Amino acid sequence: MEIRDGADLCFPQLLNSSCRKPILHWSEAVLLNIVLFFISLVTVALNLLVIISISHFRKLHTATNILLLSLAVSDFLVGLLLMPLEILRKTTCWLFGDIVCVLYGYLVCYIVSASIGNIVLISVDRYVAICDPLHYSTRITVTRVTRSVCLCWLWYAFYSIIYMKDDLIQPGRSNSCFGECTLAINYVTGTVDLILNFIIPVTVIVVLYMRIFVVAVSHATAMRSHTTDVSLQHSLTLTQRKSELKAARTLAVLVVIYLVCFLPFYCYSLVEVNLTSTSYASFLFFLFYCNSCLNPVIYALFYPWFRKAIKLTVTLQILQPGSCEANVL
């Protein structure tokens, strides 16, 4: 290949072995960077608020909130590490070498997979809390949840090594020139990952939340059947209907957002071996990452204690002595 001008190369001194710089109009590049960095900043800020709130206030040190904390940590890392690296990979030449490229690929698999695992654990926690409330305190303890979270992170650390083994053995094997960072996964590995990290988690989440919804409706029906006063019956019916609709909406949001964020990426990974070879691959990556921005909204902002904790954090009242004992519930 003949190179007429080295100004558009990532490494002009390497001539024909260098990649060309990404071709973006300056206004397009500025707008793209602003939007993507804003999403990254929002992801970091929202999840950091969850981490600070649960870690600081003792009243929030419960089994359920430990799961929320673990989810927030994984999503915080997505916003802090994965999103900025993806922005750099998309808009500029990759100047960090093959080792950092492989490390980035490993972190993508590890952190996002851990986020998925945490969502499944939260689903199990809510299932036990709604469907077996009498045994919840004995089955779901802080110690057991902490162990489950640690095992989740350890499992996905090992899983990510297996997933990235080819690139870990031979860094840069997918790169066609110097100055790019591409990730290529063979069809078998991609299919296994689709099953383990998408089909199974989605199935578990949908089945558990459907069971939760059915139990919630049956409880509401039982309560109405034991009500004899007509006026009270009418008031209770309206209240229960609102509760059922809210539960249905929450279920719909959980499932739809998860599918919207993950389904396009996994479908793409099945038909394209090189996960970063096309122009719209980065869009799928960011759609994949956006789930980490939406998770704190779905799992935390619905809780009244989170709004109270945000107010205390933003106003710096958490810096006062004894603030950790504040009742935010």
The CATH class of the 6-320 domain is mainly alpha
Residue 27: the pLDDT is 62
Alpha-carbon distances, residue 82 vs 79, 213, 286 (angstroms): 6, 35, 9
The answer to whether the CB of 56 falls within 8 A of the CB of 9 is no
Residue 4: the pLDDT is 42
CA distance 93 to 177: 11
Residue 230: the pLDDT is 47
Residue 148: the pLDDT is 95
**Would you list the DSSP string of 197-226?**
IIIHHHHHHHHHHHHHHHHHHHHHHHHHHT
CA distance 322 to 329: 16
Tens-digit pLDDT profile for residues 222-271: 655 655 444 444 454 555 555 555 555 666 677 778 778 888 877 776 66
DSSP designation for 21: P
The answer to whether the CB of 219 falls within 8 A of the CB of 162 is no
Q: pTM to 2 decimals? A: 0.84
* Domains of the chain, residue spans: 6-320
Residue 213: the pLDDT is 77
Residue 183: the pLDDT is 77
Query: Which residues in the chain land under pLDDT 50?
Result: 1-4, 228-234, 236
Q: Which of 63, 153, 167 is nearest to 116 (CA)?
A: 153
Residue 252: the pLDDT is 62
